[in-house]
A and B are shown apart, each in its own frame.
Chain A
């Protein structure tokens, strides 16, 4: 089985555990070891430093690496702080960027629809999938934004344990919410998810380098689900979402 990682991170972290594979060549090594032949990557500077500088650094970092595709971090263009919709569309098209990552809590803005109008309107029109980490938006805000922008596919990554009771009602209500499988670790969690919500809402990702690719591929490979469901999770669903993007 081959895997495509829907979300990992590149760039120099302020701190890291001894032996953590944060350098790009280390990430490529572990991808190869885990049969992951491609990945969407964002840059730590875009997430934790300055968004547009980080997005630029990302393009330079992966320019010669065909396995890695860019994922840009984005925030609302209030005060012209970020690219407005038209300019964002042009820039993404020019640079082959097909997904965005938001981080409302870390970027200090609301995730409610009124605050995300322009950005989400753009994502809906161009069918751009929007990624964010669990915890970046409280469940009620998550529900509102998923509900108000049904044409946007939202992918939640970096999940933590104890999320099922929070997340279940949002998954019930909003068919456009997808779950990144990296560190989604309830006992037989993927099997249960497939039973209640179907495999086509699960997207394989690793959360590298802080997350574990070896763990992420094993969760899928060892899950008590069909080969077809595994293929959808491992690469099929993200390929479908990327194929729907119209910039």
Chain B
């Protein structure tokens, strides 16, 4: 008599994400379509940014920090600049603080819209991808108008920002914000009331309150599970303390917290709205004055060189908390240490409870729901004893689209 033994499959994804700062490798245990165990490995590709940073002067590092991630190209240099300001006791003028809020929130809108489009794409809803990215172009237009660049903004400087918002720029800001207010309804209708979205996102990829706390999730991922954590509120920086920010949790809209993908969509959409209001208020309340504490860069550099000390800069990136730590020895121009903790890093472990018990077709939307800073889940190898077959990103995506179609029927 032959004995039937139930076996599970191993399913590694990655590590060669054509990905960015944090390429990851997943190892899944699969039973049929169901994921029963997940393991995550980190650190496959890196560009040695911190190492390089320790060979550059503090001003050059701003531009290096900007290139940690193209999407968070404001928050990284921001956290870095705040760390240096903290280490060297540099006071930022009040106006610059408000300008930082404006740019930070613009980036949040751009990033959340980008994410919304990607999430829609993951479940095979490309029309929505195009809709959101068209809206995103409007923010990029404004960002370009204010900073001169679309993606890497090069706006920050230690002790302030490099460009002011002049009175003649205000109408354009207002106009764009009006556009967003008008279109916000459409956007939230598409994402929150649409049947397809609900079917694919409700009850999927759940992260409980306890898990979110235990695994130190950050940003919208943790807020969607009901954990009230937001650097802008907890330790207000820049001008946030004057601007009345609140935690955005899904119960603000639905009255309940499930911690599923749907809740993460809600949180991000609420944050887009919050950002629009924040920018509006920041622009209205902006005091006059300088935008840089020390406009002469050589002087600033010299001052930093002579100062010994260490500092920490935290801020709330679109994906969660970013921390930069820096230490100067007071002799060398180059920092003694520079350490970066990007937000996605903290959001990787929560993938494990989220993905357990899900189907293969849900991997992409669940992974995407934390807004990882990686362009795609590229390749899957299914090792079935000796047979080996590959599922690439395309096929994963196809599986996901098929599931949507199935549910629609």
Q: Do A and B come from one complex?
A: no
List residues of A whose CB falls within 8 A of some B CB.
none
List residues of B whose CB falls within 8 A of some A CB.
none
